[in-house]
A and B are shown apart, each in its own frame.
Chain A
Amino acid sequence: MFEFKARPVRLGTGFVLALVSVLVLALPGTSSGQLPGASVTVCQVTGSASAPDFLEVQVSVDEVAAYLNQFPGSYVGSCPSPGSGGTGGGNLPLTGAVTVCRVSGSASAPILSEVLVAVDQVAVYLNQNPGSFVGACPASGGVGNAGGSTGGSGPLNAVVTVCRVTGNVNAPDIVQLTLNVDQVVAFLNQNPGSFIGTCPGQGGTVTQGPGRILGIPLGAALTICQVTANAKVLQFLQVNVVIDRVAAFLNQNPGSFVGLCPSSSDPNGTLGNEPVGYVTICRVTGDIGNPLAAITIRLRELSVYLTRAGTVVPGPTGGCPRTQTTPGGGSGPPSTTPPGQTTTVVVQTTPNTVVTATGAGVKASTKSNTKGKAKLKVKAKRAGIITVRGEGGRVVKRLGVVWTKRSGANLTG
């Protein structure tokens, strides 16, 4: 019944898609260098200290600004890969750190310095230091590697290729620029959505007539979460901004971001893009049903939260995961065992921690090995549920103790 229909539908869909692709490719005047069809490679940087995550994605050029806004720390270019480097120029995730060119200073005294940043703090670091980028700094006569930035005659006179993404409903545009490095910080601050690297196409100016920008239709407004902060509290206000004023608004309200604010019904909101000095993370709650919760904290408090295994930094844009995927595993799929029979339960948890199993007449404990693996032998005395807990009392596994034989009185027969 179910599976019979799936195959012809998929074949049909594939055929239609192929036909559409052929027709689109055959259309005159459509080339990879023009909006809205062009795309660029973006390295999406997320994850945590224990699970850094690099994902190379293709993003439509008219959505690059929105994408980078949603994923702070991500950048235009290829991701680093073990052993081969990449545009990002690191050896991730093997080393756990990435080279970042910190760009600061002023026109009269520009400062370029290469720093090593732990991968789980790259996003935060780039948020803190606008204009800085993943990759080596432009060197004297050399070539920088942040998506096409080029070196000049030394740090003082080096130039960087920047793709300016601006526009409004009537004239969205993408322009290739070359800037002195000491102007980059100010420029990127003034032009949110612009990025270091070459624009799609052959370089130079790629301008598009009336059309979309940031994936929003003509005349539309963007939902923005206006974030203000003082020493004690963060305040969020949901506002709608006409699209051609978005850049100015974000410039006027640092820390604000495109997306939904956290609310009582959806406490996670759209995470990321916190005010300078703050970071939103998913903290470990210890609650089985809701193991992670979003919280925005001062950066200097971060180290305290990182001591708890499973903390996700920064919090993902779509909200905190409902299960823990970092070491500690979260509650795995349920399984069953009959009463009176010895069963070996294997769980993955934090290394060198005490693991306990309780319920259904069972009381057992052991210690996980250096890789976090723990084996427990349990023999249930009665039907019920055995709960296996790891570090901090967090549930890592549940087993139902089930009699195979039972009454079928609930069946109509």
Chain B
Amino acid sequence: MPLNNSTTQRLRTAASVFAVACLIGLVAALAPAGSSAARGTSYPKAGVILWTKVAAHSRPSRSSPTLMVFPQFRKDFRPTTLLVLGERKDAKGLRWLKLSMPMRPNGRIGWVEAAAVQLRPVRRSIVIDLSSRKLRIVERGKTRFGTRVAIGRRGMETPTGNFYLTATFRPTERFLGVFAFETSAYSKLSEWPGGGVVGLHGTSMPWLLGQAVSHGCIRMSNAAALVLKRLTRAGTPLRIVA
């Protein structure tokens, strides 16, 4: 049935109002996240050190105890990478960054002066579920990649908590597979040479995947290790849940 002019006019008006309302709603929904991102206030972020060395304090204050001193370069000459969880200003207006500390005990928080660090955003994170023995790479809430892993055996359980990748390398040991990642997590085995760092690495014994057999490290197939090499880098957050 043909519509008369006034009906057409009313429909057009209603459609315009609806479109404007949708636009306003869309802008309102997107604005907070967008403006915040523009200000660079969303965390976590990864960072490298601009100074020769920088002290990490227990509180955002120069007078608070020093937890450790980060050198700009590690002993293997790779740049020290930090994971920044937030920021705060002290009474003098000095900006401080809240760090996930790569030290014992696991889960420790430290603070460094913001001027010492250059930040970059992180888009992906690694989530490891110990109960299902699955590793996932998550990006914007969606799983980009998943694989089966081997975890720490009884008495040497893989620690749970929030950590990050501190370095990547090709291991000389065949046992560690084709690629390996150092993390900021520490194993229960404190007497291990080098401190007992929990690693993510490939394996020469793929038939053990899906079992609790390691000394605390996360083992995965060599193919999965190469995917991780492509999708992640030092500074990527790592969450291990029970």
Contacts and interface: CB of A to CB of B under 8 A. Distances in A.
30 contacts: A289-B52, A323-B50, A333-B48, A336-B77, A383-B77, A384-B77, A398-B73, A400-B73, A400-B79, A401-B77, A402-B76, A404-B170, A406-B169, A406-B170, A407-B171, A407-B172, A407-B173, A408-B169, A408-B199, A409-B193, A410-B195, A410-B197, A411-B194, A411-B198, A411-B217, A412-B152, A412-B187, A412-B196, A412-B217, A413-B199
Contact of B171 (A266, A270, A318, A405): A405
Listed from nearest, the 3 A-B pairs whose CB atoms lie closest are A410-B194, A411-B199, A400-B77
Interface of B: 29, 31-33, 36, 42-44, 48-53, 62-63, 72-73, 76-79, 85, 92-94, 113, 115-116, 118, 125, 127, 138, 140-141, 152, 156, 162, 169-173, 175-176, 180, 182, 187, 189, 192-199, 201, 214-217, 237, 239
A289 B172 CA distance: 35
B215 to A, nearest CB: 4
B77 A402 contact: yes
Contact of A331 (B51, B113, B138, B193): B51
Contacts of A14: 31-32
Given A265-B62, A413-B176, 8 more contacts: A2-B237, A6-B43, A10-B33, A10-B36, A384-B77, A400-B78, A405-B172, A410-B196
B33 A7 contact: yes
**Which of A260, A334, A400 has most chain B Cβ within 10 Å?**
A334
B195 to A, nearest CB: 6
Contacts of A11: 29, 32-33
B30 to A, nearest CB: 10
A377 B127 CA distance: 41
B49 A334 contact: yes
A83 B218 CA distance: 62
Nearest to A411: B199
Interface in A354-392: 383-385
A319 B94 contact: yes
Contacts of B116: 322-323
Contacts of A270: 92
A265 B63 contact: yes
A332 interface: yes
Given A2-B43, A323-B50, A323-B115, A411 B176 contact: yes
A260 B118 CA distance: 29
A411 B182 contact: yes
A318 B49 CA distance: 21
A101 B106 CA distance: 62
Contacts of B175: 413
A173 to B, nearest CB: 28
B78 A336 contact: yes
A288 interface: yes
A58 interface: no
Nearest to B125: A1
Contacts of A409: 173, 193-194
Contacts of B169: 404-406, 408
A334 B115 contact: no
B78 A402 contact: yes
Interface size class of A (residues with CB under 8 A): 35 or more
A319 B125 CA distance: 37
A336 B72 CA distance: 12
Contacts of B140: 3
B183 to A, nearest CB: 9
Contacts of B180: 408, 411
A281 B116 CA distance: 21
Contacts of A323: 50-51, 115-116
Interface in A315-339: 318-319, 321-323, 330-336
A7 B77 CA distance: 37
Contact of B199 (A2, A3, A288, A412): A412
Nearest to A335: B79
Contacts of B239: 1
Contacts of B76: 383, 402-403, 406
Nearest to B121: A3
A412 B214 CA distance: 8
A400 B75 CA distance: 10
A247 B127 CA distance: 59
Contacts of A319: 92, 94
A413 B153 CA distance: 11
Contact of B173 (A1, A322, A398, A408): A408
B50 A405 contact: no
B73 A385 contact: yes
Given A334-B79, A402-B77, A408-B173, A413 B214 contact: yes
Contacts of B42: 3, 6
B85 A2 contact: yes
B197 A398 contact: no
A406 B201 CA distance: 13
A13 B72 CA distance: 37
Contacts of A385: 73, 77
